[in-house]
Amino acid sequence: MNRPLRSNDIPLGIPCSVTSLREEANSVNQLEISLIRAIVQEDRGAMAQLYDIYYPRLQRFLVGIIQDRELVAELINDVMMVVWQKAAGFRMQSLVSSWIFGIAYRRAMDGIRKDQRYRTVLNEVPRQTPTDSSLNESITARDLNVFMKVLTPEQLAVAQLTFEFGYSYPEIAQILQIPVNTVKTRMFHARKSMQKAYGLGVTDK
């Protein structure tokens, strides 16, 4: 058996030391807090700066849930307008990014519930197990779409916030406004669905 893996072994180019990761997050958050303070003073330059930082991140996040880039672009503008309007109400009790991702998630879920266009797009995308899966085959970027199709929007959000954006499970609970145990449950089911799609991963409890 190989040496057991430790978090420091993770070969992803992601900052793996928890301390350095947190320090980086704090530093980014400080910059973003200064932008939010300027936005409260109606500084449109600061708003444009925050928009430039968040558009790519929100797009990656929301495309998973909504799966239509044009709708996502429209949704991001809604989200950023909420940020502009509500900046004065942001109490600094969470990371700026958690606050913005939380707005984005709720807007996306509202869209799915209320807006026919969102439902049309989602209905066009078959959420089913792919037939060309191959056991233990290395996963490639091409397969991201497959993952998106086998996970529900709620499961995908948890998976993205964990793997792509590096949030802890308590932070994800805060962003999605759900209990910590629900985060873990959604992740468990997401892993099960990915396992079904690829024959990889988590075993039954």
* CA pair distance 180, 183, nearest whole angstrom: 5
**Comparing C-alpha atoms, which of 205, 162, 204, 152 is closest to residue 183?**
162
CB-side neighbour CA atoms (13 Å) of 160: 24
Q: How many residues bind other proteins (CB under 8 A)?
A: 63
- Residue 169 CB, shortest distance to other proteins, in Å, is 5
84 binds other proteins (CB under 8 A): yes
134 binds other proteins (CB under 8 A): no
Interface pick for other proteins out of 28, 38, 53, 139 (rule CB under 8 A) = 139
φ and ψ of 175, to 5 deg: -60, -45
150 binds other proteins (CB under 8 A): no
Among the candidate windows 28-36, 40-48, 90-98, 113-121, which touches other proteins by CB under 8 A?
40-48
Nearer to other proteins, 96 or 197 (CB): 197
Helices H / strands E in the chain, number of each: 9, 0
DSSP string, 118-161: HHHHHHHS--S--TT--TTPPP-GGGHHHHHHHS-HHHHHHHII
- Residue 96 CB, shortest distance to other proteins, in Å, is 17
CB-side neighbour CA atoms (13 Å) of 178: 17
SS3 track for 158-177: HHHHHHHCCCCHHHHHHHHC
Nearer to other proteins, 113 or 182 (CB): 182
**Comparing C-alpha atoms, which of 153, 166, 142 is closest to residue 193?**
153
6 binds other proteins (CB under 8 A): yes
48 binds other proteins (CB under 8 A): yes
Return residues touching other proteins (CB under 8 A): 1-2, 4-7, 10-12, 14-18, 21, 42, 44, 47-48, 51-52, 55-56, 59-60, 63-64, 69-70, 73-74, 76-77, 80-81, 84, 138-141, 143-144, 147, 159-160, 162-164, 166-169, 171, 184, 187-188, 191, 194, 200-203, 205
